[in-house]
Chains A and B, each alone.
Chain A
């Protein structure tokens, strides 16, 4: 039975920082099981778009529905108002993996992954530990459970961060340039982990500069420019036969460095 209601529905989303209008009206539906790659030059608003989806940034305008439920309530002057108490459970359902990992340095890898189940979902200690170990095993780091982040490589840190997000059973996973701060030889292990999650049919949005990876993993590709979606379609459409001049220029720039 097909479920036609999108898991995530975004309408006219806008966000500015000071004088800089970063997002200028984004409309986007994401269905369950979709994998959306968000591409665009730096400053195009792709990270901000992702960060608005789990309210790391509060949008200035527009609406966001999660599984058919509109978030926030209409406030004065068109902007919606969001209460922190409403956003906390939303963030549990929309997981995020950051460019800089943001692991908790004072906790072991296991501690990092256990923290959400234990503190946020109030799971009993033993159950949370079991769950965390299973997630670490899923990203191939069971043997690093007792290591502190400072003793892990960048790629291992990012995989722990992915396990930490997975331990909350998110319905959507947001990846914000997950390999951009990694040494080139460590990119592969993180992309491999994300690819295995894709095979499980998880819903995800991914901001990335790895065009080849986006091509193979995404079911849909968005190209952002000046805070708007300039072009979108299947990976073949957008990456192999882009309609817009700016998309073509962006892809050409990325291929200059490919040998």
Chain B
């Protein structure tokens, strides 16, 4: 049984694909920024001396690490509007689910990175009169981020792929559009192959970029 490949039927829908790509990129950008920023806050809180800060951050990490992102997205989209007096749109629901999950994982990366820096670096910073916050910002974090870069790259790739989960609530992104094209043109093989290739074309440059960043940051070695 030979299959006659017919990518023309996919390319005919390039406008739908473009809209999907835009939706994927928008969701990715929001989730990456939110996930990293929140993750940094969570990582700092997890390294705090006060248990009043440390324990809630720990609870946050455990909760969002141990619940599926898909369930969170569905919950934010279908359950939250019942509890709150306002609508939650598809983008917001998907962004919340993915960002919070990503923040939990990124928080652990940040915490590990911060703790991996030698105590002598803290002492060197304190000995010239830096406050805890100055030492963290100027001395500890820049070194920690460099060590964390491979792990953060993996996180970014993971976030990019997680955006497909938003198709569960019919948010317009690549997979959602692929499914639409497949059902309208009866060409699931070509449609899903095209989606996979598109994802690869988006992610591969991202990975190359982080290799470049790692090399640049290694300048001081």
Contacts and interface: CB of A to CB of B under 8 A. Distances in A.
B128 A106 contact: no
Interface in B109-167: 120-121, 123-132, 134, 138-139, 142-143, 146
Contact of A104 (B129, B139, B146): B139
Given A115-B138, A150-B220, A102 B120 contact: yes
B128 A92 contact: yes
Q: Quick one: which of B124, B126, B138, B146 has the most chain A CB within 10 A?
A: B124
Contacts of B128: 91-92, 95, 115-116, 120, 164-165, 167-168
Interface in A69-118: 84, 88-89, 91-92, 95-96, 98, 100-108, 115-116
A54 interface: yes
In this complex, which of B132, B134, B138, B143 has the most chain A Cβ atoms within 10 angstroms of its Cβ?
B138
Contacts of B125: 104
Interface string A33-67: 00000000000000000000010100000000000
A167 B128 CA distance: 9
Contacts of A100: 120
Given A119-B138, A148-B220, A89 B129 contact: yes
Contact of A120 (B123, B129, B142, B221): B129
Given A119-B138, A148-B220, A150-B221, A105 B127 contact: no
Nearest to A148: B220
A235 to B, nearest CB: 27
A56 B128 CA distance: 11
Contacts, number: 70
Interface in A142-163: 148-150, 161
Contacts of B221: 148, 150
Interface in A111-144: 115-116, 119-120
Given A98-B120, A98-B123, A120-B134, A105 B220 contact: yes
Contacts of B146: 106
B127 A106 contact: no
B56 to A, nearest CB: 23
B124 A102 contact: yes
Interface in B76-134: 120-121, 123-132, 134
Given A102-B121, A106-B142, A95 B220 contact: no
Nearest to B217: A106
A126 B128 CA distance: 19
Contacts of A91: 126-129
A165 B123 CA distance: 12
Contacts of B142: 106
Contacts of A119: 130, 134, 138
A101 B124 CA distance: 8
Nearest to A94: B127
A89 B142 CA distance: 24
A137 B132 CA distance: 30
Contacts of B121: 102, 104
Contacts of B131: 84, 88
